[in-house]
Amino acid sequence: MSEFQGQVAVVTGAAGNVGTALCNKLAAAAASIALLDRDPDAMARVLNGLPAGANAASFAVDLLDADSVSGCIADVQKRFGRIDILANVAGGFAMGPTLDETDDATWNLMLDLNARSVFHTARAVLPLMRAGGYGRIVNVAARAALKGQGHMGPYCASKAAVMSLTESMAAETKHLDINVNCILPGTVDTPQNRAAMPDADHDTWVPPEALADVMLFLASNAARCVSGAAVPVYGRS
């Protein structure tokens, strides 16, 4: 029997590239899945593509709105009765001008989408994990969290914040059976990246399924003694 049988995983950004791959892996591993994203139609397409017999349901949410997130997590708890795994996959990227020419909207979008979303979901889910005495949180930061780069200051800062929040939460839960880790993807092999960089060597990029494999490992019993880690997943780039 799969160790994930009977476990409930919450996946944010479930309708995106990595979220879809993760939902498929979790369903194949017999976990029950709560898909969180903002477009119900996009989530319905993911649900339809899951392996037969998957126990999954979608929950429309605005991850930037604290009330929307807490209401959504309450709905997940009502539907599934427990939350064992929280995978914070939702996030986004924006190139921009130099920092001195960056507008507030770009700054706010990057920090909100990448960091505030993690804050909102973790704040709503951690009390349930504490009460249940078990939890695995896996956040998606980025290779860019490790070093600021030109023309992407807000993005790098937001992913560094995800890494730092991961470490803080791991410190706060180290005496419990709750682990909090993050992954640092390099360039992911997505249709959007292929369209934006048609001449790049796509074979060096990371397939979404490879990221999902690492996230599943971090949610598994094999990673029971790993918390506060930031795992590089760069492919061959």
Please list the active-site residues: 155
According to CB under 6 A, which one of 4, 8, 11, 19 is a site residue for ligand NAP? 19
Total residues contacting ligand NAP by CB under 6 A comes to 26
Residues 145-184 that bind ligand NAP (CB under 6 A): none
Order of strands, sheet of 135-140, starting from the edge strand that comes earlier in the sequence: 56-60, 32-37, 8-12, 85-88, 135-140, 178-185, 230-233
Q: How many whole angstroms separate alpha carbon 145 and alpha carbon 147?
A: 6
- Stretch near ligand NAP under the rule CB under 6 A, chosen from 27-35, 49-57, 60-68, 94-102: 60-68
Looking at the Cβ atoms of 20 and 227, the one nearer to ligand NAP is 20
Binding-site member from 190, 200, 202, 210 for ligand NAP (CB under 6 A): 190
Shortest CA distance to 129 belongs to which of 166, 88, 173? 173
User: Smaller CB distance to ligand NAP: residue 45 or 224?
Assistant: 45
| Residue 113 in the binding site for ligand NAP (CB under 6 A) | yes
> Which of 15/223 has CB closer to ligand NAP?
15
In the list 18, 152, 160, 182, the residue contacting ligand NAP (rule: CB under 6 A) is 18
Closer residue to ligand NAP in complex, CB, 18/122: 18
Closest CA to 125 of 81, 172, 73, 80: 73
Rounded CA-CA distance 184/78 in Å is 32
Kindly give the pairing relationship between strand 230-233 and strand 178-185.
Answer: parallel
Which residues contact residue 162 at a Cβ distance below 8 angstroms, ignoring those fewer than 6 apart? 88, 91, 114, 115, 118, 139, 140, 141, 142, 145, 182
Q: Which of 47, 63, 178, 230 binds ligand NAP (CB under 6 A)?
A: 63
Rounded Cα distance, 164 and 218, in Å: 17
Q: Does 215 bind ligand NAP (CB under 6 A)?
A: no
- The set of residues, in sequence order, having a beta carbon less than 8 Å from that of 69 and lying 6+ positions away, is 61, 62, 63, 120, 121, 124
Per-residue interface string for the shown chain with ligand NAP, residues 30-49, x marking contact by CB under 6 A: -------xxx----------
For ligand NAP, the binding residues (CB under 6 A) are 13, 15-19, 37-39, 61-64, 89-93, 113, 140, 142, 185, 187-188, 190, 193
